[in-house]
A and B are shown apart, each in its own frame.
Chain A
Amino acid sequence: MMLMIPRRRFLLACTALAAAPLISRAQGDPRRQALLREITGGPLPSAGRVLVDTPPLADNGHSVPLRVVIDSPMTAAERVRRITILAERNPRPIVASYVLGPLCARAEISTRIRLADIQEVIAVAEFSDGSWWMGGTRVIVTELACLEDG
């Protein structure tokens, strides 16, 4: 188990790095910036430390499994306070926000979300030192939510 943690953190760092160009390329987008500022209340998050894990191809936009894993030891001194999910092409881009209390032992949540379009799903995390980080992944949805009924 002791061996697992550095390896997991290393892999996390690798995937976060791989996702970084996608995020930073779109960072200049004014609509995205406005949404990010709405989430953080001012500062723009840095790209990295946040991994968004979804199937790359989701059949059903009504229910897309989503896991967010953040590189944080979750000790009393250094932890993630809040995670917010952003799907810019949804009619309501801010999907959900989670507050992790002191008992939360991993900076990780899983849920299922609706996606109205093929898009990059972004997770924004607030750390206990006041810094903001984000990561994202592109999800291709074959049947979109918000169309037809269901």
Chain B
Amino acid sequence: MLARIQVPAQAKRGEIITIRIAIQHPMETGYRPDHFGRRIPRNVIHTLVVRFAGAEVFRADMGSGVSANPFLQFHVRAEAGGEFTFDWVDDTGAKGSERATLNVV
């Protein structure tokens, strides 16, 4: 799964940084028929977890009401340098993950 994660490479200690996540995914609702009139089964990224140095920072539980190619933005305080990890999983069990390193000066 293609994803674009935006974390600033560098921040001052105590600064509030913005994290943006965009993942390429159809977020199939389960209500949509295919060309033969059969219902396409639901397939959404139901869980996304963001961790910093192993500790959970942010978690999203999502359903079919979230748009295709889900986008998320939130704000984190840069206390120390380290690595953010992003992990998500969809209804088919397909997993995706990304990482980004933040340097605190």
Are A and B associated in one complex?
Answer: yes
Count: A-B pairs, CB below 8 Å: 99
Question: Given known contacts A101-B57, A101-B58, is B74 in contact with A109 (CB within 8 Å)?
Answer: yes
Contact of A104 among B29, B61, B66, B74 (CB under 8 A): B74
Docked pose: A99 CA to B55 CA in angstroms: 13
Q: Identify B61's interface contact among A96, A100, A113, CB under 8 A.
A: A96
B31 contacts A97, C-beta separation under 8 Å = no
CB–CB A110/B60 < 8 A? no
Are B59 and A96 in contact, CB atoms less than 8 angstroms apart?
A: no
Q: Are A95 and B65 in contact (CB under 8 A)?
A: yes
Main secondary structure of the interface of A (DSSP, over half): strand
Chain B, interface SS category: strand
A90-B65, A91-B31, A112-B66 given as contacts; is B76 within 8 A of A104 (CB)?
yes
How large, as a class, is the contact surface on chain A?
20 to 34
Taking the closest CB of chain B, its distance from the CB of A65, in whole angstroms, is 9
CB pair B66 A105 closer than 8 Å: no
Answer whether residue A149 sits at the interface, using C-beta atoms and an 8 A cutoff.
yes
Task: Identify B75's interface contact among A99, A104, A112, A114, CB under 8 A.
Answer: A104
Query: B75 — which chain A residues lie within 8 A by C-beta?
Result: 104-106, 108
CB distance from A123 to the nearest CB of B (A): 13
Measuring CB to CB, which residues of chain B are less than 8 angstroms from any residue of chain A?
16, 29, 31-33, 52, 55-68, 70-77, 79
**Chain A residues near B (Cβ < 8 Å):** 62-64, 85, 87, 90-101, 103-106, 108-115, 145-146, 149-150
Q: Apart from A96-B60, A112-B66, A114-B67, list 6 A-B contacts with CB within 8 A.
A: A92-B63, A99-B56, A101-B56, A105-B76, A115-B65, A149-B32
